[in-house]
């Protein structure tokens, strides 16, 4: 039988490139140039090929590539042709295929990157106490919340589109889409501020601050998607340093215009850096965005809206659901924002561990148990970090007297800790491609807080607790399935 005849019988999955690979394995396995005199010796020489072969045809192909002919098989080993010899070798040698090389870990990132992201999420909150003395008039809280809701939802949808393009096409198309999304997002943000002006007659200074808040979040979204988040620190320098100095000096009135300039410089810098980093590097190729991509971005934007609503509504509703200052909510906002860095690190840790489980576990029931234990460990890591940040914030605030704290604020802080854990689990589930349930659960929890706001912090505790139980139970069921971790 000739080499061509053997190749004609090979399975379709066995290509010429694979045959060449087999030949290299054979060459590496041969210990001497002498011809084996027995079939056992031949099996020993072709051991790696025989152990990994899924069909005798693979061994026959390797033999013919090594120069074995039908005449040689008959003369040396007493078999009518190469295929008969290969079949005998196939049944002599047990299957012990070599383990494939471990793939590169896609979730291995710098340990400092999640910490940097946590700082970028949290330190802009320093600007709000400084701006609080500068913002006055009707509808201040409404305008700021509207700006946050719009910007958060738009940035989540834009981040989805940006990461999708980076994974499917080149960086040039992703930059083109991000720049267009940045322009569209700014337009929507300005329209939302204009509508707020008409409805609640908010002063222009407040509207410009809200627009700047949204502009910073959109610019930060673009820079973080492109992986150049270090430039955000440059953009934050004037706003954070100006606000810190203003607060440290006791909010002197003669420095108000200086602080306004510093606060305005941060969103302008973020936008300028985002535009520079999304500059065109070649002619446009393909459609800017498809209908399917927009449909996929819809759930991401909706989740951003629901998450922002759950975070901001207690601050807007007050302790008793009818407005007023909610010191517990204000205090919990900063540490919860900082804890998003810990959430990112815990999520990456979880993805790495589950990928190892996929490689090392052969029984799906055992995988389900171990995957749920890993999920519990990741959640515990996040809760520990968030609780530590909230405790540190309470200690600092109590020592400095910036916010008057009392034991009555503990339920509010506990509600935000529960909400943070629920958001971490929701992000983990969504990272594995499951969005509908978490989105519906978040909107139901927000609707419950709004409808029963007269109950004050009690309804927030009940809504966040129910949200945690729902998403936690759903995550335990779905993330115990091995198929979910191939996403």
Please write the tens of the pLDDT for every residue from 195-231. 998 888 888 888 888 899 899 999 999 999 998 988 9
Please write the tens of the pLDDT for every residue from 416-463. 999 999 999 999 999 888 899 999 999 999 999 999 988 888 899 999
Question: What is the structure's pLDDT at 301?
Answer: 94
The CA distance from 257 to 3, in Å, is 86
Please write the tens of the pLDDT for every residue from 116-167. 888 888 778 777 777 777 777 777 888 888 998 999 999 999 999 999 988 8
Low-confidence winner among 110-124, 332-346, 472-486 (lowest mean pLDDT): 110-124
Contact of 80 with 126, CB cutoff 8 Å: no
Domain residue ranges of the chain, discontinuous segments joined by +? 3-92, 113-289, 298-487
Q: Above 50 in pLDDT, residue 16? A: no
Please write the tens of the pLDDT for every residue from 59-75. 999 998 888 888 888 88
Residue with tokens 């929890």: 445
Question: What is the structure's pLDDT at 5?
Answer: 41
């Amino acid at each position: 039988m000739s080499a061509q005849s053997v190749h004609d019988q090979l399975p379709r999955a066995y290509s010429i490139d694979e045959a060449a690979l087999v030949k290299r394995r054979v060459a590496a396995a041969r210990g001497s140039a002498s011809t084996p005199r027995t079939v056992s010796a031949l099996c020993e020489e072709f051991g790696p090929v025989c152990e990994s072969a899924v069909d005798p045809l693979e061994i026959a192909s390797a033999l013919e590539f090594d120069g074995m002919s039908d005449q040689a098989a008959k003369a040396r080993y007493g078999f009518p042709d190469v295929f008969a010899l290969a079949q005998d070798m196939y049944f002599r040698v047990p299957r012990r295929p070599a383990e494939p090389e471990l793939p590169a870990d896609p979730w291995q990132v710098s340990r400092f990157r999640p910490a940097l992201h946590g700082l970028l999420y949290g330190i802009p909150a320093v600007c709000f106490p400084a701006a609080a003395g500068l913002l006055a008039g009707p509808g201040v809280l409404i305008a700021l919340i509207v700006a946050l809701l719009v910007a958060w939802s738009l940035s989540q949808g834009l981040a989805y589109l940006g990461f999708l393009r980076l994974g499917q096409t080149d960086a040039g198309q992703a930059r083109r889409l991000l720049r267009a999304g940045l322009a569209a997002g700014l337009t929507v943000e300005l329209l939302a501020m204009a509508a707020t002006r008409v409805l609640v007659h908010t002063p222009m200074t407040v509207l410009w601050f809200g627009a700047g808040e949204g502009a910073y979040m959109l610019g930060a979204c673009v820079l973080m998607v492109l992986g150049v988040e270090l430039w955000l620190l440059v953009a934050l320098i004037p706003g954070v340093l100006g606000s810190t100095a203003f607060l440290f000096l006791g909010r002197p009135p003669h420095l108000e215009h200086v602080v306004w300039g510093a606060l305005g410089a941060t969103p302008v810098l973020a936008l300028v850096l985002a535009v520079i980093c999304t500059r065109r590097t070649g002619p446009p190729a393909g459609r800017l965005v498809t209908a399917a991509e927009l449909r996929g971005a819809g759930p991401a934007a909706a989740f951003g809206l629901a998450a922002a609503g759950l975070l901001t509504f207690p601050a807007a509703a007050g302790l008793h659901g009818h407005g007023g200052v909610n010191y517990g909510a204000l205090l919990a906002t900063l540490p919860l924002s900082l804890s998003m860095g810990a959430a990112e690190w815990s999520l990456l840790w979880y993805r790495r561990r589950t990928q190892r489980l996929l490689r090392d576990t052969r029984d799906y029931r055992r995988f389900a148990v171990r995957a749920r234990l890993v999920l519990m460990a990741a959640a515990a890591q996040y809760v520990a970090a968030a609780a530590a940040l909230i405790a540190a914030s309470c200690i600092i605030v109590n020592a400095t007297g910036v916010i008057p704290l009392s034991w009555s604020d503990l339920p509010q802080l506990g509600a935000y800790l529960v909400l943070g854990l629920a958001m971490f689990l929701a992000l983990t589930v969504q990272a594995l491609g499951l969005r509908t349930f978490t989105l519906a659960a978040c909107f139901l929890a927000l609707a419950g807080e709004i409808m029963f706001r007269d109950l004050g912090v009690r309804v927030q505790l009940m809504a966040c607790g129910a949200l945690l139980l729902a998403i936690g139970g759903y995550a335990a069921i779905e993330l115990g399935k091995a198929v979910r971790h191939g996403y």
